[in-house]
Amino acid sequence: MSFVTRGFGGRSRDRDERLPPGQTLVHDFPVLSAGPTPEVDTAEWAFSIITEAGTHKWTWDEFNALPAEDIATDIHCVTHWSKLGTSWRGVSLDTLFENVESQFDYVMAHSYGGYTTNVPLDELLNGQSWVATEFDGEPLDPEHGGPARLLVPHLYFWKSAKWVRSLVMMPRDDPGFWEQNGYHIHGDPWQEERYW
């Protein structure tokens, strides 16, 4: 039955050749949420990498003593918006995994508040991802995932888990929260891997 509503223009959206298919450029930074925003005190915050052999853990102070990098990157959300040249600061997963050994090839990221998302380990290493604590030169806002979020810009942004607290090694590519509920197990924006 759908008919066009007189006088309703919707939102104007810019297309750009630098974008993956189906994406539109935005200049704000939309906030999408699946629940209440966790409020995590850095005094209680910890980040862990958990393998079959044991746990590597950093407190906020220990984490901030690690070598950090400035990152300039494009980000792509499955809901069709993209931002080009965003600036972040964080610790590379290569640094965090330096002394970590595991037989397993897959990672489940766990967040404060219960969110999960899965990523193959070889897509987190070799300069492909960070745990970020700053955006645009400022400490990361809680509504954008602060104190720290995973940043995996080559995949759709639901993989960049906000409020990240641990990475758990796993033998299979088990689906995280959105992957269980309709989203693609991998999430490559250039292949438009949005849904099952």
Contact status: 191 vs another protein (CB under 8 A): no
Contact status: 33 vs another protein (CB under 8 A): yes
Q: Which residues in 86-105 contact another protein (CB under 8 A)? A: none
d(CA 165, CA 192): 28
The interface mask with another protein, positions 37-66, x = CB under 8 A, is ------------------------------
| Closest separation in Å from C-beta 125 to another protein | 27
| Closest separation in Å from C-beta 178 to another protein | 7
Nearer to another protein, 30 or 54 (CB): 30
Sign of CA dihedral 149, 133, 126, 55: negative
Dihedral, 183, 132, 99, 107 alpha carbons, nearest 10:
-10
Q: Which residues in 134-173 contact another protein (CB under 8 A)? A: 158
Query: Residues 78, 91, 108, 167: which binds another protein (CB under 8 A)?
Result: 78
Query: Which helix H or strand E contains 178, and what residues bound it?
Result: helix 177-180
Q: What is the DSSP string of 32-62?
A: --SSPPP---TTT-EEEEE-SS-EEEEEHHH
Phi, psi of 3 (to 5 degrees): -130, 160
- The footprint of another protein (CB under 8 A) covers 1-11, 30-36, 77-79, 114, 158, 177-178, 180-183, 194-196
